[in-house]
Amino acid sequence: MSARGRLLLLTGWLLVLAGLGLLVAQRLQVSTDLRSFMPAPTTPDQRLLMEQVGDGPGSRLLLLTIAARCTPRQDHATQGLSPVTPCAPLPANQRDAMLASLSRGLAAALRNDRRYSQVLDGSFDLAALDSSLLPYRYLLSPTLDTQPLDEAYLADQLQQRLDDLSSPAAGLLKGLLPRDPTLEVLKLAQRWAPPRSPETRDGVWFSKRNEALLLVQTVAPGFDPDAQRQAIGGIRRAYRALPGSALAQLGFSGPGYFSVVAAAQTRHQADWIGRISSVGFIALLLAAYRSLGSLLLSALPIASAALAGIAALTLAFPQVHGITLAFGFTLLGVVQEYPIRVLSHRRAGEDALHSVRALWPSLLTAIASACIAYLAFYASGVNGLKQLAVFTIVGLLAAGFSTRYLLPRLLPARVRDVADMRWLALARDVVDRLPRPRWLPALVASAIVLMLILAPGPFWQNNLAALTPLPAPLLQRDARLREALGAPDVRYLLILEASTAQGVLTLSERLQPAVDALVARHAVDALELPSRYLPSVARQRARQRKLPEQAALQRALHEALRGLPFRPGLFQQFLDDVRTARSLPPLTPQRYAQTPLGQRLAAMLVRRDGHWLGLATVSGVHDVAALQALGADSGGTVRLLDLKAASESLVAAYRMRILEALLAATVLLVLTITFALRSLRRVWHVLAPMTLATFLVLAAERMAGIEISLFHLVALILAGGLGLHYALFFERDTGDPAEQRRTLHATLVCVLSALLVFGMLGWAGIPVLRAIGLTVSLGVAFHFCLSILMAPHAHVAED
Amino acid sequence: MLLSLTAPLSAVASRPEVTATSATQALIASLGRPAPARTAFAEARFMHLLDRPLVVCGELAWLGGNRLQRRVEHPRAETATIADGEVTMQRAGRRAHSFSLKRAPQLQVLLDSFVALLSGDAARLDQAFEIRRRGDAAQWTLVLVPRDAGVAGSVASIEIDGRGKQSRCMRMQEADGDLAVDLLGPLAARMPARPTREALLALCRGGS
């Protein structure tokens, strides 16, 4: 090929890659929501979990702290007595006042932001019930259930108000009194405050460690790191905009924050390891081939694989899950072998195209069998696995065909034949002289069985969260804040089910006495039912019926006021409100939704395929059995959802689908290889080492006490793909010692580069990266050793 | 310091008032008592919600530091304690409840003025209030106007009448027109059954 032609081809290829890159940049929508990755749920609890993963009221809660930073001591600084300004804590009352004003400022800013459905800072907030809803207080407050608004009650209440007026609290109540002499608004405020409140200083919550505390419920689901990152960013911006915010530090906790931390942590470590191993990888290839041009060019098939794969995904699916991409890139690791094989098998003076042609049957067998095997993943029906299949198959084909038809036309003509290297000849000699005992497969197989039987601990790891664990201090802090704030548990949710929203509210009201009993005997610290925020229409009507007629109320009030010093006519607003309340249409969730509290209720009252669910949050569970017993004779309308158990069963279901797909893939692989090689003996030489090595990795990891997760399985599949290459090429008998040396060279470079990249990952601190790194490294080592030891003896042709 | 105080002075120049001079500081210092300091009190509250005043009596105590206790004995027992920015109220047969001092500016004012007076801390008093003094050492009135705009929105002024080293009377004028008059010490026993603003003012200022 002429230089001009080469240049044209290179430019064309780069342009196509740039085009794909542009397409990907424009269309790719990465979802981080766990739901788009998981398989379709089958049990009712799993279905609920899928909806509630991140949507449950508890998991959307962010716990905020504002803690004082220490401030430079002003007097020293101004007098210039000491060059280093020492740090002095503010006096306690000044510190609390500053933190409280920051807390109030932040709460006020967030309450005006649509991204947050509830903001609590402990301040007494009458605005929760806006003034147009004020007459509703008689329908919302439980007072009338036990107490009619009669003369005796009013007289008692008014006497108490008189005492209030002569007390220090007078200033607080003066404004409220004419409209609300029975203080229903205060009763409601108390009812809606979190079940257990932390200490209040300067009107806002404080922890024992002198931090101001806030609770913020986000509209975004808790386990969607991107949405949570935006919600948290919004809070940070609102905080920084406050005057004096630099004097204190804003801290976060809660599931949403954790998902952000975990994602960032994983990305950070992967990036860091990736950079180091890329440098090593490049150095290795430069040492192996001594040609920068060849190295740069051989990056093109890999880039093609990645870009073509993602482009296909963006065209076929509206959204791609982040985990699918991570799995996909892991599996695409196999394509680095293609250009390496080509580079190692080039002969001096020979056209690259010619070398490739000799190599192509084996390479094509590897590519085709892998692609056909991945079809099984496509057929699994699970969205995440389908995406994985499309990504990988398109990537493998793009890399394979560009390596076959494009790369050789670009490679420089002059190369060093690796077959001439002295050490390689020696190495090949050693390999050829290795014993290949016939009993080796049987020995390895029985060792595997024995190790799998003896391995300690559970076989599978079902807890996805265990793969991205959070630092212990973060978890301790969360437990401390959760305890202080009485914030709901993320694990349990009490589910109330009915055909209508009103049905759920009625059920919730019926459940209240049993729940109160549970709280009283400390089976649970608090259980927040939806009817706490909105009584059913029936209950509201019952209260409405108990409201006295205007004339009767006037009479009762008149009698009650006898002998008390209240100014005549003072309580006109009260009389008006009661009259209004008597004819109000009961408050429904829809009408309520406009108010801040309505949004709180909306999180607890959700609609699902024509049914309504009440989600009651639970905090401080001490007796799970007692909670479960709540729903014992409800006929399934009340049940305790254990989100952890449900998510683990979902992961187990997902794994079953992967294993089924894997089984089908294995069958397809055997058929493809048999068809390609047309000899059972050759098939045995390729597939036996591959199978044994795969199970050997599994057995070794189990012996080390490792529980197998989805990520281990995916890594095993990649290692299997690499092992297939080793076995295929070692099995390929050309009868030419030089070609055999080149095969060894290529395989060694492949093995070393894989060990370099994945071995580095094996050192990562994050279990998910370690799982992939360790599994692939072990896999590569076992596949390499077994495929050598189980390869047929080379025919030593006479040179 | 002096300059800033002359501005409000000019508005009331007709009266013979003196600024927070050394004489005032000396007066305030002379009022100091060692903690705990207790005094009987009788309070009449004139409120726009009511057509006659509310009267209670009991004991006010400064427990040292920023802690103040207001114990009502009559007509119904009630104890209010201010400590660490929190107000805790306890009534016979009821659960105690507390709220933040921030929500009750009247109490903040009470705390600031009372603690400063009982500890004889002129500087603290000056920090929270503009101070004016009327009268002479034998019979004086301190007028305290809160410096904090938020507090001033609910409490317009406090006037304290006294003789020699003894405070006798404290009048808290709220911004909405309500008035609380506290008779202190021996004067507490002389609260009339049906007090009026005028009668109490006369009692506070008056002879014997």
Interchain pair B103, A565: CB under 8 A? no
pLDDT digits (tens, 9 = 90+) for A514-523: 999 999 998 9
Is the predicted pLDDT of residue A298 greater than 80, yes or no?
Answer: yes
Identify the band that residue A396 occupies on the pLDDT scale cut at 50, 70 and 90: very high
Distance from the Cα of B101 to chain A's closest Cα (Å) equals 6
Interchain pair A201, B86: CB under 8 A? yes
| Average pLDDT over every residue of B183-188 | 91
Question: Quick one: pLDDT at residue A468?
Answer: 63
The 3-class SS string of chain B reads CHHHHHHHHHHCCCCCEECCCHHHHHHHHHHCCCCCEEEEEEEEEECCCECCCEEEEEEEEEEECCEEEEEEEECCCEEEEEECCEEEEEECCCCCEEEEHHHCHHHHHHHHHHHHHHCCCHHHHHHHEEEEEEECCCEEEEEEEECCHHHHCCEEEEEEEEECCEEEEEEEEECCCCEEEEEEHHHHHHCCCCCCHHHHHHHHHCCC
> What is chain A's alpha carbon radius of gyration, rounded to the nearest angstrom?
35
Which percentage of chain A shows pLDDT scores above 70? 91
Q: How many contacts, defined by CB atoms under 8 Å, are there between A and B?
A: 86
Distance from the Cα of B111 to chain A's closest Cα (Å) equals 11
Name which of B50, B86, B105 is nearest A171 (Cβ-Cβ).
Answer: B105
Between A375-389, A569-583, B126-140, the lowest mean confidence (pLDDT) is in: A375-389
| Average pLDDT over every residue of A103-132 | 78
Interchain pair A172, B50: CB under 8 A? no
Cα(A424)–Cα(A103) distance, rounded to whole angstroms?
Answer: 71
Is the predicted pLDDT of residue A798 greater than 50, yes or no?
Answer: no
Identify the band that residue A39 occupies on the pLDDT scale cut at 50, 70 and 90: low
Question: Quick one: pLDDT at residue A678?
Answer: 87
Is the predicted pLDDT of residue A716 greater than 60, yes or no?
Answer: yes
pLDDT digits (tens, 9 = 90+) for A544-576: 999 999 999 999 999 999 989 999 999 999 999
Question: Quick one: pLDDT at residue A467?
Answer: 64
Which percentage of chain B shows pLDDT scores above 90? 31
Question: Quick one: pLDDT at residue A1?
Answer: 62
Q: Between A533 and A603, whose confidence is greater? A: A533
Is the predicted pLDDT of residue A775 greater than 80, yes or no?
Answer: yes
Question: Quick one: pLDDT at residue A189?
Answer: 80
Domains of chain B: 9-206 (2.50.20.10)
| Average pLDDT over every residue of A680-707 | 91
Take residue B8 and report the two structure tokens written for it: 């409000």
Question: Quick one: pLDDT at residue A288?
Answer: 85
Identify the band that residue A301 occupies on the pLDDT scale cut at 50, 70 and 90: very high
pLDDT digits (tens, 9 = 90+) for A100-110: 899 989 998 99
> What is chain B's alpha carbon radius of gyration, rounded to the nearest angstrom?
17
Question: Quick one: pLDDT at residue A34?
Answer: 60
Is the predicted pLDDT of residue A78 greater than 70, yes or no?
Answer: no
| Average pLDDT over every residue of B27-31 | 84
| Average pLDDT over every residue of A768-794 | 86
Query: Would an 8 Å CB–CB cutoff place B45 in contact with chain A?
Result: yes
Is the predicted pLDDT of residue B4 greater than 50, yes or no?
Answer: no
pLDDT digits (tens, 9 = 90+) for A568-606: 999 999 999 999 999 999 999 888 877 767 767 887 888
Question: Quick one: pLDDT at residue A231?
Answer: 93
Identify the band that residue A464 occupies on the pLDDT scale cut at 50, 70 and 90: low
Mean pLDDT of chain A: 84
Q: In what order do the strands lie in the sheet with B17-18?
A: B17-18, B129-135, B139-146, B155-163, B166-174, B179-184, B37-46, B54-64, B67-74, B78-83, B86-91, B97-100
Query: Would an 8 Å CB–CB cutoff place B188 in contact with chain A?
Result: no
| Average pLDDT over every residue of A327-340 | 83
| Average pLDDT over every residue of A165-191 | 86
Identify the band that residue A799 occupies on the pLDDT scale cut at 50, 70 and 90: very low
Q: Between A291 and A776, whose confidence is greater? A: A776
Interchain pair B49, A566: CB under 8 A? yes
What residues in B contact A170, CB-CB < 8 Å?
A: 45, 47, 106
| Average pLDDT over every residue of A27-50 | 69
Identify the band that residue A230 occupies on the pLDDT scale cut at 50, 70 and 90: very high
Cα(A455)–Cα(A162) distance, rounded to whole angstroms?
Answer: 76
Q: What 8-state DSSP symbol labels residue A69? A: P
Q: Which of B149, B168, B147 is nearest to B159 (CA)?
A: B168
Interchain pair A203, B102: CB under 8 A? yes
Distance from the Cα of A713 to chain B's closest Cα (Å) equals 58
pLDDT digits (tens, 9 = 90+) for B53-83: 999 999 999 888 888 899 999 888 899 988 8
Between A34-48, A138-152, A377-391, the lowest mean confidence (pLDDT) is in: A34-48
| Average pLDDT over every residue of A735-739 | 82
Question: Quick one: pLDDT at residue A227?
Answer: 85
Question: Quick one: pLDDT at residue A511?
Answer: 92
Name which of B84, B100, B107 is nearest A203 (Cβ-Cβ).
Answer: B100
Identify the band that residue A794 occupies on the pLDDT scale cut at 50, 70 and 90: low
Interchain pair B54, A166: CB under 8 A? yes
Is the predicted pLDDT of residue A685 greater than 60, yes or no?
Answer: yes
Given a contact cutoff of 8 angstroms between Cβ atoms, the answer to whether B60 and B43 are in contact is no
Distance from the Cα of B147 to chain A's closest Cα (Å) equals 17
Q: Which of A199-203, A275-279, A386-390, B147-151 has the highest mean pLDDT?
A: A386-390
pTM score over 0.90: no
| Average pLDDT over every residue of A651-670 | 86
Q: Which of A215, A205, A174, A188 is nearest to A567 (CA)?
A: A174
Distance from the Cα of B208 to chain A's closest Cα (Å) equals 28
Question: Quick one: pLDDT at residue A642?
Answer: 84
Cα(A757)–Cα(A278) distance, rounded to whole angstroms?
Answer: 7
Name which of A162, A168, A202 is nearest B89 (Cβ-Cβ).
Answer: A168
Question: Quick one: pLDDT at residue A238?
Answer: 94
pLDDT digits (tens, 9 = 90+) for A321-332: 777 777 788 778
Is the predicted pLDDT of residue B40 greater than 90, yes or no?
Answer: yes
Interchain pair A167, B104: CB under 8 A? no
Distance from the Cα of B86 to chain A's closest Cα (Å) equals 7
Is the predicted pLDDT of residue A93 greater than 90, yes or no?
Answer: no
Identify the band that residue A27 occupies on the pLDDT scale cut at 50, 70 and 90: confident
Query: Would an 8 Å CB–CB cutoff place B106 in contact with chain A?
Result: yes
